Amino acid sequence: MTEKNELVESIIEGIQEKKGKNISSIRLKGIAGAICDYFVICEGNTPTQVTALADSVEEMVRKKTTEKPIRIHGQQQAEWIAIDYGNVIVHIFL
């Protein structure tokens, strides 16, 4: 990631706080047909950690920016959680 983005940095910080693995941020800005500007992807070891990662991302973003998620999907099963911030989508996988 060459361009700094406060939201992306806050998301990554939230993931790191709960020891998420294999964190990747993919810049899609400027790509025709892209549904967002960035994807942030990471892994957790257990469903409990996947939930903790999602909670940590929400908390860190709320603390550091004015952004709120548009939608969160997958919290029930906690094998995969997607958090949609509009221009940034977070994928947390088991």
Mean pLDDT in consecutive groups of 10 residues from the start of the chain, 94 residues: 76 98 96 95 98 98 95 93 97 97
Is 10 within a domain?
yes
Distance CA 51, CA 63 (A): 18
In a domain, 1, yes or no: no
Which range marks the domain in which residue 18 is found?
6-93
Count the domains in the chain.
Answer: 1
Among 2, 4, 28, 20, smallest CA distance to 89 is for 28
Q: What is the pLDDT of residue 1?
A: 37
In a domain, 75, yes or no: yes
pTM exceeds 0.95 for this model? no
Which one, of 72, 78, 41, 44, lies nearest residue 59 by Cα? Answer: 72
